[in-house]
Each structure stands twice: as structure tokens, then as C-alpha cells.
Amino acid sequence: MITRKLSILLTVFACSPVFSSALPETIDVDISAIESKVIRWRRHFHQHPELSNREFKTAEKIAAHLEQLGLEVQTGVAKTGVVALLKGQREGKVLALRADMDALPVLERNDLSFKSVAQGEYRGAEVPVMHACGHDTHVAILMGVAEILAKNNDFSGTVKFIFQPAEEGPPPGEEGGAELMVKENVLKSPDVDAIFGLHISSGIDINTIGYKPGGIMAASQAFEINVQGKQTHGSRPWAGVDPIMASVKIIDGLQTIVSREVPLTEEAAVLSIGKISSGVRSNIIPESAQIIGTLRTLDKDMKADINQRMEEMVPAIAKAYRATAHIDIDKGYPITYNDPALTSQMLPSLQQAAGEEKVLQIKAVTGAEDFSFFAEEVPGLYFFLGGKTPGNEQPFPHHTPDFFINEDGLLLGVKVFVQLTYDYLGA
């Protein structure tokens, strides 16, 4: 039996930072030389984006590159995902590196020479497609990392490269993303010991890293409320039951959950309504209404409490206005959680790659990431890579037509992943 004292010593040892030394000069040279390739790849993917679960050409290009490097490549994972294995020169742990591949139904609005003019299908309609969240940069960076490590595999263990589809969520009625990859055992055979991921940020200066132990991104849940009333002429509202009025009061009531019932000094929470639809004419009080929204939380208990209050409040408010209402809250994405011990261990590696003054501990953000499904299975570290031009005080946010990334920051992404790999696996 391990004594308590020995157990404490082992825990301290396991959580202590790794020693991080500068990468060999030959690797630094290789990293510098690959910048033009990474930018070229990024521009190709940006110009030819594909929606979730439809990343066919993207996956083909990734797989061709990995096969050319001599890696063991598997395609069609979680529909369109690509997974590749690179073995080091000695036995050791298994480290996964992840990049997401999908784009968004957004019309690009800028003057880039590689601007997207792609079209796709979303919810039965033809839509413009744009890499409005930077996943094109993630793919290009990880392709560069694969090339560097394939050429310099003097490390112990194995690297599993995961190019993941549908991070933005699969189309209605389909499975996809990290959740499906986990279900298909992407973290098995060989079993992954830890996973690292990054996200480009239009709000952080280039050549800067943002990290946070514990919850770094929120859990995300979509919800749908269907309100049932009784249709009548608009001139005789007393003859019917107005679902629009009931909907307004439901929305108003839901906002009080966050503003009046949640201890916001402990963690943030956001409840937003994205759509309300009802009716066809000005003089008809309709029969029904639909409300769609999103909930973001950074604490599991807080998430459960808010869900319970939403389920209690919606039918009760509807009843007060003689209507009925039902709410469906989906499972959504879990909290993106950085394992504190792993984060502490790898912090020197981030600092070695970027410079200590360029590695900043940030506050959690209320955006969500399905990397969280991987990090629920194995220890994970997820960090932000700066993509903003220094001095730009009003960068365009992600998921908008004007979203822009400064490509001068991409090479640091390659260097950080390589540094993390060497330090975690050991030379």
C-alpha cells in the first residue's frame, strides 16, 4: 500500500513542470522554412471552405499531404475526419494534436486575393461559405507541424494527428464533430495520454499565447421553446390566447435567471435569444410561436441549476397567460477544461516557444468548443494563438463577414505545437 506521504510526493512530482529547453537549431531552421507553405495551405483552404460534415476536398488535401510524409493515415473518421500516426524513435506516451476543418455559412466581405466565393447547402438552402472562425489556419498549422515532426522524429512515443470535421456542429439530423470521433474511438488504438489544441484569435496580438488552467471556454447548449396559444382575429384578442405575448414574457423571465439567480461573482453565464418566429399577418393573432436561444456556462453545477429553472419557468409563465409551452434543451458542448496539472507542466513549453512575456493567462470566454469532448476523456490543454495586427483596437470578431487573421502569427502556432510535443514526449 502506498503511504499518504508517498502518495503526496508522487502527486507533486506528476504535477511539476516539465523542463523545457530550446529546440535544436536544425528544427528551428525547418520551422522558419515552412512558413511560406503554411501560409499557402491556409490561403487554399480559405478560398475553398466547406461546411460541417462536408469537408471532402479539405480532407483529401490533408490526407495526401500526410501520406506523402509517410504517416499511417486513416480517412473517413467521423464522416470526413483524417487521423494520422507518427511514431518516434523510441517507445513512449501517445500525444494527440487536433485541428478542426469546417467553415461557416457566412458571406465573406473583404478584399483578400484569396477571398472565398464558395457556396454550400445549409438547412436546405444554398448559402455562401467562409472560414469565418480561422479553422483554415488550424489545419495549415497542423499540416506544418506534421511535416516538421516527420522530418525530426527523434522523440519517444507517438503523435496522433487529429483533423476533425464539424466543430461548428453537424447539420440537423446528423452526428459529427469531436463527440462522434470519441464515439468512434479516435483516442484509442493507441490510447492517447494527453491532447493539445489551439484556436486562432482575432482579438489577441500576433506572436502571443493566451491560456488558462481549468475552464477556458464555456459549455454551450441550444434550446427551443414552442408556445401554443389559440388563434383569433387581431381585433378580438380576448377570443383567443396570444402566444406572442406569452413568448415575450417567457423571454423576459428567462433573463432574470442570470441577472437575479446566478452567483456571477463565481463564474459567468450567458442566456441569449437568437430567434423568435410567429404569425403571418398584422391582423391575426397566431396559434403558436417558437423561441430559439443559447445558454453558456462555465460551471457544471451552475449549468444544472439554470437548466432546472428554465424547465420550471417556461411552462409556468405560459400558463399565467393561458398558453402552454414546452422547452427542449440539448446536451450541447461541455466546458472546455484545461487539466490544471497538465497546464502547469506545459506552461514552460509555451513560454519557451513564444517568450515568457508573450504568454498571458486570460479569463475564460463564453464561446464554446467541442474540443471539450476530447478533454473529458483524456487530460487536455487548449490555448489561444494571437492573430490580430498589433495596434488594431477594433478587430472584427469571429463568425462575422469581415473576420480577418494576420498570417504573420501562424508560424508561432507551428513552433508551439512542436515544442509541446518534444517536451511532453521527451527526446
Q: Is 167 exposed, middle or buried (0-12, 13-18, 19+ CB in 10 A)?
A: buried
pLDDT at 142: 99
Kindly state whether residues 203 and 123 are assigned to the same domain.
yes
Kindly state whether residues 298 and 419 are assigned to the same domain.
no
Domain holding 266, by residue range, is 219-329
Task: Give backbone dihedrals phi and psi of 96, rounded to 5 degrees, phi first.
Answer: -105, 140
Kindly state whether residues 45 and 137 are assigned to the same domain.
yes
Which of 261, 311, 377, 407 is catalytic? The answer is: 407
What is the chain's length?
427
Q: Is 147 a catalytic residue?
A: no
Among 275, 299, 329, identify where a domain stops. 329
Each residue's pLDDT expressed in tens, for the chain with a length of 427 residues: 334 333 334 444 445 666 788 999 999 999 999 999 999 999 999 999 999 999 999 999 999 999 999 999 999 999 999 999 999 999 999 999 999 999 999 999 999 999 999 999 998 999 999 999 999 999 999 999 999 999 999 999 999 999 999 999 999 899 999 999 999 999 999 999 999 999 999 999 999 999 999 999 999 999 999 999 999 999 999 999 999 999 999 999 999 999 999 999 999 999 999 999 999 999 999 999 999 999 999 999 999 999 999 999 999 999 999 999 999 999 999 999 999 999 999 999 999 999 999 999 999 999 999 999 999 999 999 999 999 999 999 999 999 999 999 999 999 999 999 999 999 999 6
Enumerate the H helices of 167-299 as residue ranges: 177-183, 243-256
DSSP category for residue 287: S
Kindly state whether residues 263 and 290 are assigned to the same domain.
yes
pLDDT at 19: 72
Report the amino acid identity of residue 325: A
Q: Is the pTM of this model over 0.85?
A: yes
Q: Is 333 a catalytic residue?
A: yes
pLDDT at 15: 53
Among 329, 364, 389, identify where a domain stops. 329
Which of 333, 337, 382, 422 is catalytic? The answer is: 333
